[in-house]
Amino acid sequence: DAGVIQSPRHEVTEMGQEVTLRCKPISGHDYLFWYRQTMMRGLELLIYFNNNVPIDDSGMPEDRFSAKMPNASFSTLKIQPSEPRDSAVYFCASSLAGLRSLFFGSGTQLSVL
Amino acid sequence: GDSVTQMEGPVTLSEEAFLTINCTYTATGYPSLFWYVQYPGEGLQLLLKATKADDKGSNKGFEATYRKETTSFHLEKGSVQVSDSAVYFCALSGGNQGGKLIFGQGTELSVKP
């Protein structure tokens, strides 16, 4: 298996632009997680899905952030409009119920200028 | 709520030194405990895990024992190598967490030749 695949690896955009991050989980996994990592705040859970249904989005910073999972093999995290304080590394992870071990993608380094 | 506390870094050691990174947790019920490692520019990778009290997780020379009486899961390695330089995260997954992991803030390890 190729593991969790995220795209793009790097994204540089200007304040106010829309940003879309993409994730393909490991085939067969039924949980998908979006995390954000910064030096100041560490690793923060933004939202997670179970069987494509959002379970907990309490970590989503504000209405500018939205996430979807239209099917078991694809998820997006969208920021509209983006702000400089959104600059961070965004990780997607997936897992299989019962194992409780998360498998992380390589992350998307987002820079909002 | 559930939480994980790790010793602050950075931890700087010489090659072949003994490593301990402390981790304590607060949780209701009986969580599973994990150590993840993050190498520069990469996502987190599962290093080891333990699912019940007194279990010892081990991998690549690293070990950690699930101590319920002290609510701890300290990471140890007898002889570190330069290639062990990374950030180490302790995490827990409880029965009421719905599949998500709660991470500590991470401890940076730097091993000098």
Nearest chain B residue to A42 by CA distance is: B105
Q: Do A100 and B32 touch (CB under 8 A)?
A: yes
pLDDT value at residue A99: 66
C-beta separation of B25 from B2 below 8 A: yes
Nearest Cα residue to A92 out of A5, A2, A1: A5
Does an H or E element contain A73, and which? none
Q: Do A42 and B99 touch (CB under 8 A)?
A: no
Q: In this complex, is the C-beta atom of B2 within 8 Å of any C-beta atom belonging to chain A? A: no
Q: Do A48 and B106 touch (CB under 8 A)?
A: no
B91 by Cβ neighbours in 10 Å (0-12 / 13-18 / 19+) ranks as buried
Within 13 Å, how many C-alpha atoms sit on residue A8's CB side? 9
Interior angle at CA B51, CA B46 and CA B57, nearest 5: 55
Per-residue pLDDT reduced to its tens digit, A56-97: 999 998 899 999 999 999 999 999 999 999 999 999 999 987
Closest CB to B99 among A97, A104, A105: A97
Q: Supply A57's token pair.
A: 């989005």
Closest CB to A104 among B43, B98, B100: B43
Alpha-carbon gap, residue A102 to B2, rounded angstroms? 18
Q: In this complex, is the C-beta atom of B35 within 8 Å of any C-beta atom belonging to chain A? A: no
A103 by Cβ neighbours in 10 Å (0-12 / 13-18 / 19+) ranks as buried
Per-residue pLDDT reduced to its tens digit, B37-78: 999 888 999 999 999 999 999 999 999 999 999 999 999 999
Nearest Cα residue to B43 out of B82, B92, B86: B86
Q: Do A4 and B43 touch (CB under 8 A)?
A: yes
Per-residue pLDDT reduced to its tens digit, B10-36: 999 999 999 999 999 998 888 899 999
Interior angle at CA A82, CA A76 and CA A85, nearest 5: 110
pLDDT value at residue A26: 95
Q: For residue B41, list chain A residues with Cβ-Cβ distance below 8 A.
A: 106
Q: Do B49 and A101 touch (CB under 8 A)?
A: yes
pLDDT value at residue A96: 86
